[in-house]
Amino acid sequence: MRQKAIYLLGLLSVIMIILFCAFSMADNDNYDQAKQEIMLRKIGHELLLQSGDSLSRVLPVKKLAKNEFQITFENEFAFKPDSLVAIIKRSLVKHNLNQEYIVNVLNCEKKEIIYGYAILGNKKDDIISCLGRNQPKNCYFIDIKFQDTGISTTQKGYLLGSLPLLAFVGLVISKSVNNKKRKLPLAAIKLGKTVYNETKKTISINEKTIDLTLKENKLLSIFSKSPNLIIERSRLQKEIWEDEGVIVGRSLDVFVSRLRKKLENDQSVQLINIHNRGYKLEIKFDLV
How do residues 63-91 score in pLDDT, each as one tens digit? 888 888 999 999 999 999 999 999 988 88
**Under CATH, what is the fold of the domain 188-283?**
Arc Repressor Mutant, subunit A (1.10.10)
pLDDT at 253 over 60: yes
User: Which of 57 and 7 is assigned the larger pLDDT?
Assistant: 57
Q: Summarize the confidence of residues 238-263 as an average pLDDT.
A: 80
User: Which of 250 and 116 is assigned the larger pLDDT?
Assistant: 116
pLDDT at 24 over 80: no
The ranges assigned to domains in the chain are 2-146, 188-283
User: Which of 28-37, 48-57, 275-284 shows the lowest per-residue confidence on average (mean pLDDT)?
Assistant: 28-37
DSSP notation for 125-143: G-B---TT-PEEEE-EEEE
CA separation for the pair 35, 37 (Å, rounded): 5
CA separation for the pair 183, 175 (Å, rounded): 12
Amino acid at 5: A
pLDDT in tens, 254-274: 999 999 999 999 999 999 999
Give the number of other CB atoms < 10 A from CB of residue 40. Answer: 24
Give percent above pLDDT 90 in the chain. Answer: 33
- Check residue 103 and give its pLDDT: 92
